Amino acid sequence: MDFKNSIEKFIEIFNRSNLSISKFASLIDKDRRTITSWIDRVSNVEISNDIKTKICKEFRYPEYIWEDACSGDEFLKSITSIPQKEVRIIDEDYKGRLQYIIEHEKNRRFVIQAQFPGPMYRDSAVRKVYKTTNSSEIEEL
Protein backbone atom coordinates (compact mmCIF):
# COMPACT_ATOMS: atom_id res chain seq x y z
CA MET A 1 0.00 0.00 0.00
CA ASP A 2 1.23 3.46 -0.85
CA PHE A 3 0.86 6.01 1.94
CA LYS A 4 0.48 9.32 0.12
CA ASN A 5 -0.73 11.67 2.84
CA SER A 6 -0.70 12.01 6.60
CA ILE A 7 -4.27 10.69 6.99
CA GLU A 8 -3.33 7.34 5.41
CA LYS A 9 -0.22 7.15 7.56
CA PHE A 10 -2.28 8.02 10.63
CA ILE A 11 -4.77 5.23 9.84
CA GLU A 12 -1.95 2.69 9.48
CA ILE A 13 -0.39 3.78 12.78
CA PHE A 14 -3.79 3.56 14.49
CA ASN A 15 -4.45 0.07 13.09
CA ARG A 16 -1.04 -1.20 14.18
CA SER A 17 -1.41 0.26 17.67
CA ASN A 18 -4.33 -2.06 18.56
CA LEU A 19 -5.70 0.66 20.84
CA SER A 20 -9.29 1.75 21.18
CA ILE A 21 -10.34 5.04 19.64
CA SER A 22 -10.79 6.52 23.13
CA LYS A 23 -7.32 5.50 24.30
CA PHE A 24 -5.67 6.68 21.10
CA ALA A 25 -7.52 10.00 21.31
CA SER A 26 -6.42 10.52 24.90
CA LEU A 27 -2.78 9.84 23.95
CA ILE A 28 -2.72 12.60 21.36
CA ASP A 29 -5.17 14.94 23.16
CA LYS A 30 -7.91 14.87 20.55
CA ASP A 31 -11.56 13.94 20.87
CA ARG A 32 -12.96 10.67 19.55
CA ARG A 33 -15.02 12.37 16.85
CA THR A 34 -11.91 13.83 15.23
CA ILE A 35 -10.11 10.48 15.31
CA THR A 36 -13.17 8.74 13.86
CA SER A 37 -13.48 11.30 11.07
CA TRP A 38 -9.84 10.68 10.11
CA ILE A 39 -10.23 6.89 10.22
CA ASP A 40 -13.45 6.94 8.19
CA ARG A 41 -11.84 9.45 5.79
CA VAL A 42 -14.70 11.89 6.26
CA SER A 43 -12.26 14.72 6.86
CA ASN A 44 -9.48 15.48 4.40
CA VAL A 45 -7.84 18.07 6.62
CA GLU A 46 -4.10 17.50 6.98
CA ILE A 47 -2.99 16.46 10.47
CA SER A 48 -1.28 19.28 12.37
CA ASN A 49 2.41 19.19 13.22
CA ASP A 50 1.55 19.15 16.92
CA ILE A 51 -0.38 15.88 16.53
CA LYS A 52 2.39 14.38 14.39
CA THR A 53 4.93 15.24 17.08
CA LYS A 54 2.77 13.69 19.81
CA ILE A 55 2.36 10.47 17.81
CA CYS A 56 6.12 10.23 17.24
CA LYS A 57 6.79 10.90 20.92
CA GLU A 58 4.22 8.39 22.25
CA PHE A 59 5.11 5.55 19.88
CA ARG A 60 8.81 6.45 19.54
CA TYR A 61 8.68 6.82 15.78
CA PRO A 62 11.22 8.92 13.87
CA GLU A 63 10.01 12.37 12.80
CA TYR A 64 10.73 11.73 9.11
CA ILE A 65 7.79 9.30 8.74
CA TRP A 66 5.52 12.27 7.97
CA GLU A 67 7.61 13.49 5.04
CA ASP A 68 6.30 12.94 1.51
CA ALA A 69 9.43 11.01 0.52
CA CYS A 70 8.73 8.40 3.23
CA SER A 71 5.99 6.23 1.75
CA GLY A 72 5.20 2.61 1.01
CA ASP A 73 7.69 0.05 2.25
CA GLU A 74 9.98 2.69 3.69
CA PHE A 75 7.15 3.99 5.90
CA LEU A 76 6.24 0.48 7.08
CA LYS A 77 9.88 -0.27 7.83
CA SER A 78 10.19 2.98 9.80
CA ILE A 79 7.26 2.17 12.08
CA THR A 80 7.92 -1.55 12.51
CA SER A 81 11.69 -1.95 12.77
CA ILE A 82 13.63 -1.27 15.95
CA PRO A 83 16.71 0.95 15.62
CA GLN A 84 19.78 -1.20 16.26
CA LYS A 85 21.50 1.60 18.18
CA GLU A 86 18.82 1.51 20.93
CA VAL A 87 18.92 -2.28 21.15
CA ARG A 88 22.67 -2.25 21.61
CA ILE A 89 22.45 0.28 24.44
CA ILE A 90 19.82 -1.76 26.29
CA ASP A 91 21.84 -4.94 25.80
CA GLU A 92 25.02 -3.30 27.11
CA ASP A 93 23.16 -2.01 30.16
CA TYR A 94 21.82 -5.48 30.98
CA LYS A 95 25.23 -7.04 30.46
CA GLY A 96 26.87 -4.44 32.69
CA ARG A 97 24.43 -5.01 35.55
CA LEU A 98 24.82 -8.77 35.31
CA GLN A 99 28.61 -8.47 35.32
CA TYR A 100 28.42 -6.23 38.42
CA ILE A 101 26.36 -8.85 40.29
CA ILE A 102 28.67 -11.71 39.29
CA GLU A 103 31.80 -9.79 40.36
CA HIS A 104 30.36 -9.04 43.80
CA GLU A 105 29.23 -12.62 44.35
CA LYS A 106 32.72 -14.03 43.83
CA ASN A 107 33.88 -13.01 47.30
CA ARG A 108 30.66 -12.96 49.31
CA ARG A 109 26.94 -13.29 49.01
CA PHE A 110 25.53 -10.18 47.34
CA VAL A 111 22.03 -9.05 48.26
CA ILE A 112 20.18 -6.49 46.19
CA GLN A 113 17.67 -4.65 48.35
CA ALA A 114 14.48 -4.40 46.36
CA GLN A 115 11.99 -1.62 46.72
CA PHE A 116 8.81 -2.53 48.54
CA PRO A 117 6.82 -4.64 47.57
CA GLY A 118 9.15 -6.11 44.96
CA PRO A 119 10.84 -9.47 45.40
CA MET A 120 14.32 -9.71 46.84
CA TYR A 121 17.38 -11.21 45.23
CA ARG A 122 18.23 -14.61 46.73
CA ASP A 123 18.11 -13.77 50.43
CA SER A 124 15.65 -12.13 52.71
CA ALA A 125 16.28 -8.90 54.57
CA VAL A 126 14.28 -10.14 57.56
CA ARG A 127 16.22 -12.88 59.32
CA LYS A 128 13.82 -13.62 62.16
CA VAL A 129 10.29 -14.16 61.03
CA TYR A 130 9.02 -15.85 64.17
CA LYS A 131 9.28 -14.79 67.77
CA THR A 132 12.11 -16.66 69.46
CA THR A 133 11.20 -16.14 73.12
CA ASN A 134 8.56 -18.14 74.92
CA SER A 135 6.18 -16.69 77.43
CA SER A 136 5.58 -18.39 80.76
CA GLU A 137 1.90 -18.89 79.92
CA ILE A 138 2.77 -20.96 76.87
CA GLU A 139 5.28 -23.05 78.81
CA GLU A 140 2.62 -23.93 81.40
CA LEU A 141 0.38 -25.39 78.72
Q: Which domains does the chain have, with CATH numbers?
A: 6-80 (1.10.260), 84-140 (no CATH)
Residue 103 binned pLDDT confidence (cut-offs 50, 70, 90): confident
Q: What is the pLDDT of residues 10-28, one digit of tens each?
A: 999 999 889 999 999 999 9
* Lowest mean pLDDT, pick from 10-24, 27-41, 78-92: 78-92
Residue 122 pLDDT:
47
DSSP state of 125: S
SS3 state of residue 41: coil
What is the model's pTM? 0.57
For residues 14 and 7, is the Cβ–Cβ distance under 8 A? no
pLDDT of 79 higher than 90: no
Q: Is the peptide bond before 117 cis (omega within 30 degrees of 0)?
A: yes
